[in-house]
Amino acid sequence: KPHSFHHPSVECIAKRFWNPNQPLNETTHDLVEAYCKVRVNLLVQDFKESMTNYTHKKTKGDFLEDVIEILDKEVDTYLTVSLNRSMSGFIKRLVWVQNSFCNSFN
């Protein structure tokens, strides 16, 4: 299949060999040029779709990173508040035990 991978036909090679000054576009068949243009256009379209998907995924990834960062801050805040409440409750109980212990000896 000479046209499968944009290989020139035997006639094109012979024309090019016998007329080296002839421009390349005059030695190729219109069928080959049309096929190549279609393939190139498909490759360009695939590239554009890939770039669109990449941009979308990157944007989505940036959004997810922002959400994770916000959630991390919220969890840190919650844990800090929860720890402060637990510690204040613990300190209150400790003071109560200390007062009870001191009162039992008085």
Number of domains in the chain: 1
Pick the more confident residue, 2 or 81: 81
Residue 28 has pLDDT above 50, yes or no: yes
Distance between CA atoms of residues 42 and 36, nearest Å: 10
Give 15: exposed, middle or buried? Use CB within 10 Å, 0-12, 13-18, 19+: middle
- For 55-104, how does the pLDDT look when each residue is reduced to its tens digit (9 = 90+)? 877 777 787 788 788 778 888 888 888 888 888 888 888 888 888 888 87
Residue 60 domain flag? yes
Residue 34 domain flag? yes
Residue 67 domain flag? yes
Domain of residue 79 covers: 30-105
Residue of 30, 8, 29 whose CA lies nearest to 17:
8
Could you tell me the pLDDT band of residue 23, with boundaries at 50, 70 and 90?
A: low
Distance between CA atoms of residues 30 and 1, nearest Å: 16
Range 45-58 average pLDDT:
81
Residue of 42, 1, 8, 58 whose CA lies nearest to 28:
8
